[in-house]
C-alpha cells in the first residue's frame, strides 16, 4: 500500500454513504491527514417537498440522516467532520438549470452540473480554506498521469458524470476507490463495522434524493396534459400528464392500458403539446444516426476525429465520427444507429479507458434530418 512520505492534508466529501466512508479509511491508511466535509445542498422544508415524499422518514429528512451517518463514520475512524451549506448555490447553478431544461422538453442530467459547480468548485473553495493539498470523493473513477480514466469496476464507473470538469479541477483530486469494485468496497466497510456498510446506494436527483417525481415537480412547474399519438398510425391512443415527465425511450408509466405493452416514447412536439409513441423496442423511430453536441468540454489533450461515445450512463461505448462545426458544436455520427439518443443528456467521449470530455446533446438526426424529439 502506498504511504505518504510526509503528511498531506486531504479534504474528502463525506456523503453519508458507503463509498465516501471507505474512501476516507483508505486515505487515512495511506498516511494522509484526512478531514471530512459534508455538503448540505437541498432544504426539503424550505422547498415544501418534504411531506410530498412517501419514501421519507417523517421524523428526519434524508440529508440529516446522511449527515448523522457521516458523523458516526468520521468519529469511528478518527477524523473531523465539517459541514457547509450550499443550498443557494445548488439552486442557482443546478436546480434552476434542471427546471429550465425540463421546460424545453429536454432530459437534463443534474448530477453532471452538480459535479461541475458544487462538488468540484464550491467544495474546492471551502477545502482551500482548510488548507487542503488535495480533495477526494467516493466517485468510481481514476486519475493517472493527468488523465481521467474509467474505474476498474466498469459497471459502477462514474466518469460519465465527471465529463464537464476541467483539467484544472481534476489536478488536485483523489479517487481512492477507483481501483476497487463495489463488492470490495462493501467488504471493507463491513470489516471496519461501519454504519454505512449495508446502506442502500443513493438514487434519484443529485442531493435531492428519491421523490415521487410527478408530485415533486408540481411544486415548481405547471402540469400541461396533452395527447399521446402513435406516430406510425397518427392515432390518438391516450393522454399524457405533461411532456416534462417523459423521456425518449421510456416505456413504463404511459398508462395506455392494453396498448401499453412494448410501447415506447419516440418524440415530443412542444408547440402542439403532443407525446409521440411507437410499438416495439426495435422500432425504427427509436433510432438515430447522428447528433449535434454543444456545451463542449475537453479533459484530454487531443480532439479526435474518431473515438467512442456514451449517450447515457452505463451505455456501452459506441464508435463515432466527429465533425467540428465550430468551437462549441460537434456533429457526431454513428452509422450503426443508436437507440433513444435524447436531447439534454450528456454525450461523453472515450478513447479506451480514458474519458476525453463531453458535451450535451442539442439535436438528434436521422438521414440528415432533425428528428421530432422537440
pLDDT digit string, tens, across residues 129-149? 999 999 999 999 999 999 999
CATH code (residue 266): 2.30.30.280
Please report the pLDDT score of residue 207 as a whole number.
52
In a domain, 214, yes or no: no
Please indicate, yes or no, whether residues 32 and 146 belong to a single structural domain of this protein: yes
Between CA 161 and CA 114 the distance in angstroms is 9
Q: Give the sign of the dihedral formed by CA 119, CA 203, CA 14, CA 96.
A: positive
Read off φ and ψ for residue 359, nearest 5 degrees.
-160, -170
In sequence order, the β-bridge partners of residue 143 are 148
Between CA 36 and CA 21 the distance in angstroms is 10
Give alpha helix (H) positions in the chain: 18-29, 62-77, 87-90, 96-103, 110-114, 123-129, 167-170, 182-191, 213-218
Read off φ and ψ for residue 356, nearest 5 degrees.
-85, -20
Please report the pLDDT score of residue 6 as a whole number.
63
Please report the pLDDT score of residue 369 as a whole number.
87
Please indicate, yes or no, whether residues 52 and 182 belong to a single structural domain of this protein: yes
Residue of 61, 74, 114, 307 with catalytic role: 114
Please indicate, yes or no, whether residues 246 and 108 belong to a single structural domain of this protein: no
Q: Is 308 a catalytic residue?
A: no
Contact 19/138 with Cβ under 8 angstroms?
yes
Read off φ and ψ for residue 347, nearest 5 degrees.
-110, 115
DSSP state of 350: E
Please report the pLDDT score of residue 51 as a whole number.
42
In a domain, 250, yes or no: yes
Sheet of 33-40: strand order equals: 81-85, 33-40, 9-13, 134-136, 173-174
In a domain, 297, yes or no: yes
**Of the candidates 120, 142, 149, which has an alpha carbon nearest to the alpha carbon of residue 132?**
120
**Residue 348: helix, strand or coil by DSSP?**
strand
Please report the pLDDT score of residue 301 as a whole number.
85
Contacts made by residues 315-323, CB under 8 angstroms, sequence distance 24+: 317/350, 320/349
Number of domains forming the structure of the chain: 3
Q: Residue 274 contacts by C-beta under 8 Å, 6 or more apart in sequence?
A: 226, 227, 228, 229, 268
Average pLDDT, the chain: 90
DSSP state of 202: P
Please indicate, yes or no, whether residues 162 and 301 belong to a single structural domain of this protein: no
In a domain, 23, yes or no: yes
Cα 241–Cα 212–Cα 247 angle in degrees, nearest 5: 50
Q: Which of 259, 279, 299 is the last residue of a domain?
A: 279
Please say if the pLDDT value at position 85 is more than 60. Answer: yes
In a domain, 65, yes or no: yes
Please indicate, yes or no, whether residues 226 and 362 belong to a single structural domain of this protein: no
CATH code (residue 161): 3.40.50.620
Please indicate, yes or no, whether residues 17 and 94 belong to a single structural domain of this protein: yes
Please indicate, yes or no, whether residues 295 and 260 belong to a single structural domain of this protein: no
In a domain, 331, yes or no: yes
Please indicate, yes or no, whether residues 161 and 38 belong to a single structural domain of this protein: yes
Task: Return the minimum-mean-pLDDT range out of 1-5, 156-160, 166-170, 339-343.
Answer: 1-5
The length of the chain is: 374
CATH code (residue 345): 2.40.30.10
Please report the pLDDT score of residue 56 as a whole number.
46
Please indicate, yes or no, whether residues 56 and 186 belong to a single structural domain of this protein: yes
Please indicate, yes or no, whether residues 360 and 248 belong to a single structural domain of this protein: no
Residue of 74, 206, 347, 355 with catalytic role: 206
Please say if the pLDDT value at position 36 is more than 50. Answer: yes
Domain coverage including residue 310: 284-370
Please say if the pLDDT value at position 312 is more than 80. Answer: yes
Q: Which of 247, 262, 279 is the last residue of a domain?
A: 279
pTM reported for the whole predicted model: 0.91
DSSP state of 210: S
Q: Give the sign of the dihedral formed by CA 105, CA 264, CA 346, CA 140.
A: positive
Q: Is 206 a catalytic residue?
A: yes
Please say if the pLDDT value at position 201 is more than 60. Answer: yes
Please indicate, yes or no, whether residues 100 and 243 belong to a single structural domain of this protein: no
Please indicate, yes or no, whether residues 152 and 65 belong to a single structural domain of this protein: yes
In a domain, 196, yes or no: no
In a domain, 241, yes or no: yes
**Residue 9: helix, strand or coil by DSSP?**
strand
Q: Which of 152, 170, 191 is the last residue of a domain?
A: 191
Contact 164/347 with Cβ under 8 angstroms?
no
Amino acid at each position: 500500500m502506498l504511504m505518504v512520505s510526509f503528511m498531506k492534508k486531504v479534504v474528502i466529501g463525506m456523503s453519508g454513504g458507503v463509498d465516501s466512508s471507505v474512501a476516507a479509511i483508505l486515505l487515512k491508511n495511506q498516511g494522509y491527514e484526512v478531514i471530512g466535509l459534508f455538503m448540505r445542498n437541498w432544504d426539503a422544508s424550505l422547498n415544501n417537498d418534504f411531506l410530498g415524499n412517501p419514501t421519507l422518514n417523517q421524523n428526519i429528512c434524508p440529508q440529516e440522516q446522511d449527515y448523522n451517518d457521516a458523523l458516526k463514520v468520521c468519529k469511528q475512524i478518527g477524523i473531523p467532520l465539517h459541514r457547509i451549506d450550499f443550498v443557494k448555490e445548488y439552486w442557482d447553478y443546478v436546480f434552476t438549470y434542471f427546471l429550465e431544461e425540463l421546460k424545453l422538453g429536454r432530459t437534463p442530467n443534474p448530477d453532471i452540473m452538480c459535479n461541475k459547480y458544487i462538488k468540484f468548485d464550491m467544495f474546492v473553495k471551502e477545502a482551500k480554506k482548510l488548507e487542503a493539498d488535495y480533495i477526494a470523493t467516493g466517485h468510481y473513477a481514476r486519475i493517472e498521469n493527468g488523465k481521467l480514466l474509467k474505474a476498474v469496476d466498469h459497471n459502477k464507473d462514474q466518469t460519465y458524470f465527471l465529463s464537464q470538469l476541467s483539467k484544472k479541477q481534476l489536478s488536485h483530486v483523489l479517487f481512492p476507490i477507483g481501483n476497487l469494485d463495489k463488492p470490495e468496497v462493501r467488504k471493507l466497510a463491513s470489516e471496519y463495522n461501519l454504519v454505512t456498510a449495508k446502506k442502500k446506494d443513493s438514487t434519484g436527483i443529485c442531493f435531492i434524493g428519491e421523490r415521487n417525481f410527478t408530485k415533486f415537480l408540481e411544486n415548481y412547474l405547471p402540469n400541461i396534459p396533452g395527447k399521446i399519438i402513435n406516430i406510425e398510425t397518427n392515432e390518438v391512443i391516450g393522454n399524457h400528464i405533461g411532456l416534462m415527465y417523459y423521456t425518449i425511450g421510456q416505456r413504463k408509466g404511459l398508462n395506455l392500458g392494453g396498448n401499453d405493452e412494448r410501447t415506447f416514447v419516440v418524440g415530443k412536439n412542444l408547440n402542439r403539446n403532443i407525446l409521440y409513441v411507437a410499438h416495439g423496442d426495435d422500432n425504427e423511430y427509436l433510432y438515430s444516426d447522428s447528433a449535434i453536441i454543444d456545451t463542449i468540454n475537453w479533459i484530454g489533450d487531443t480532439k479526435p476525429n474518431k473515438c467512442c461515445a456514451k449517450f447515457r450512463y452505463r451505455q456501452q461505448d459506441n464508435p463515432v465520427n466527429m465533425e467540428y462545426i465550430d468551437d462549441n458544436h460537434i456533429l457526431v455520427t454513428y452509422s450503426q444507429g443508436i437507440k433513444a439518443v435524447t436531447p439534454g443528456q450528456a454525450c461523453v467521449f472515450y478513447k479506451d479507458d480514458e474519458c476525453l470530455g463531453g458535451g450535451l446533446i442539442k439535436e438528434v438526426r436521422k438521414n440528415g434530418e432533425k428528428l421530432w424529439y422537440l
